[in-house]
Structure 1
Amino acid sequence: MKKVILIGILIFSFLNFNAQTKSEKKFGSWYMYYGNHTISNNWSVLTGFEERNYQTFQNYNLILYNVGVNYKISKKFIATISYMYLDIDRTFDPDVDPNTIENRHYEQILYVTKHFKLPFSHRLRIEHRHLNSMGIKSLRNRVRYRLKTKISLNKRFYITASNESFFNFNGNLYAENRFYSAFGLKASKAISLEVGYLGHYINDLHLDRLQVGLFLKTDFRKKAKI
């Protein structure tokens, strides 16, 4: 019952927030892959790819490539440093202007705990965004905080929900928020699939997005011989 109440509160809170913002008519989509590849008891490698579209299966928005390194400080804390490359089309309508290119690196700390007997993760990330738009270069820094929970329904299926807020070092202090809720399938020990809804508030717009994710875990540690 507590699980149902918690998810209900999260969804209700978001819908209430959504009612107070302008909404884009088109339903877009984000498709993503993220992998975590363990190489020792403390170290792992992060890989990722995203394609985002202004419409469900068309109208390109951006492509993102991600690679990074995780260090497991303890059972509850994981530190990450990472690099991203993004190719971004900032306009909904087709145009001839060059896309914006972004080289981004970030530092991150993840803290895993329990509240109300439910698992939660707190993620704090500092990002450094090097942008090149039509030859004009700029640097933008921001902080992101995400609260996430994942609840098992049985051995194979689960639900997950998260909310992430963005805070800029320059310009508007608070101009972006993402709420995500999804159903997940644990296809195997290594592979999980998620399909859900992402509500993306940015610059006074509310964008509705279908989000589809593939998550892969691999373990390259040498197994002890018996």
Structure 2
Amino acid sequence: MKKIYLTLIVAIVSLKIVAQKNPAKELGAWYMYNGSHKLSEKFSLKTMAHFRFFEIGDDMQQFISRFGVNYKINKNLSATLGHSYLNTDNTFGIDGGSFNEHRIYEDFNVKHKVSKLGFAHRLRFEQRFFNSITGHFVRYQLGLDYPISKKWSTYLFNEIFFDFDGQAYNQNWLGTGFSYKLSSSIKLKAGYMNIMVNDTHLDRIQLGIIINTNHQKKK
């Protein structure tokens, strides 16, 4: 338990250091829900809702909801087809205001372990539709997960974006944090993420709940 407290203190101090390096930028927050709901041995529903703020509890930057159908190819490999809806504040953009966006996405997911360290690879193809514009993106995310105890685990991820219609290397997301197993189907997570878009770096706190009913036993 002392190790967990020490790790949390180090993480908090690190967040303060990052904020001090970027005094002109506000520390924002993402409040997140992610769900996976079993339909059959092969199919499950993927659901998501994110509320993303420029500041910790003020000035919403973006709302995003996502719905998809996942097909389990084997215990390590799966594929997802889905739709996303976004409403984004474009106050700092050229036209100002906000805009709505729809996306179609296709995911290919690979999971495996090396000893206790879990690896999760996600390759995502995305077609974006907004303001009479169509965009085509490819995203690759590598996630690592390591258990600290029966309840606690720590994670690290990095995701890169490639834009086929604009700048090839579009952006990078790097994040780390902790998750707590509340029950067999519910996890809570808290972490930090740095978003790099061109030469701009955004610092975000992530607070979320994950509901996964895929492993629940039938009564």
Report the TM-score range of the alignment, normalised by the length of the smaller protein.
0.7 to 0.9
- Whether 1:53 aligns to 2:47 is no
List per-residue Cα deviations over 1:97-142 (Å, max 9, x = no partner): 441110011001001123476210110000000012xxxx100010
- Whether 1:107 aligns to 2:106 is yes
State the TM-score, normalizing by the size of structure 2: 0.85
List per-residue Cα deviations over 1:141-164 (Å, max 9, x = no partner): 100000001111111000011000
Query: What residue identity is the alignment partner of 1:112?
Result: K
Q: How many residues are treated as equivalent by the alignment?
A: 202
> Comparing both chains, which one has the higher relative contact order based on Cα–Cα distances under 8 Å and sequence gaps of 6 or more?
1
| Root mean square deviation of aligned Cα | 2.6
For residue 203 of structure 1, report the CA deviation from its aligned partner. 2.4
State the TM-score, normalizing by the size of structure 1: 0.82
Task: Tell me if the contact between 1:82 and 1:107 (Cα under 8 Å) persists in the aligned partners.
Answer: yes
Instruction: Specify the alignment match of 1:198 in structure 2.
Output: 193
Instruction: Specify the alignment match of 1:7 in structure 2.
Output: none
Distance between the aligned counterparts of 2:177 and 2:215, measured in 1? 29
Task: Tell me if the contact between 2:53 and 2:59 (Cα under 8 Å) persists in the aligned partners.
Answer: yes
Task: Tell me if the contact between 1:22 and 1:204 (Cα under 8 Å) persists in the aligned partners.
Answer: no
List per-residue Cα deviations over 1:177-210 (Å, max 9, x = no partner): 0011011100001110000000100121000000
Distance between the aligned counterparts of 2:92 and 2:54, measured in 1? 7
Query: What residue identity is the alignment partner of 1:41?
Result: E
Query: What residue identity is the alignment partner of 1:188?
Result: S
- Whether 1:41 aligns to 2:57 is no
Task: Tell me if the contact between 2:185 and 2:215 (Cα under 8 Å) persists in the aligned partners.
Answer: no
Alignment of 1:52-201 (within 5 A): 52-92=52-92, 97-115=96-114, 118-132=117-131, 137-201=132-196
| Long gaps (5+) in structure 2 | 1-10
Instruction: Specify the alignment match of 2:210 in structure 1.
Output: 215
% identity of equivalent residues: 36
The change in CA–CA distance for 1:221 and 1:212 in structure 2 (over 3 A counts) is closer
| Long gaps (5+) in structure 1 | 1-10
User: Which secondary structure does the structure 2 equivalent of 1:104 belong to?
Assistant: strand
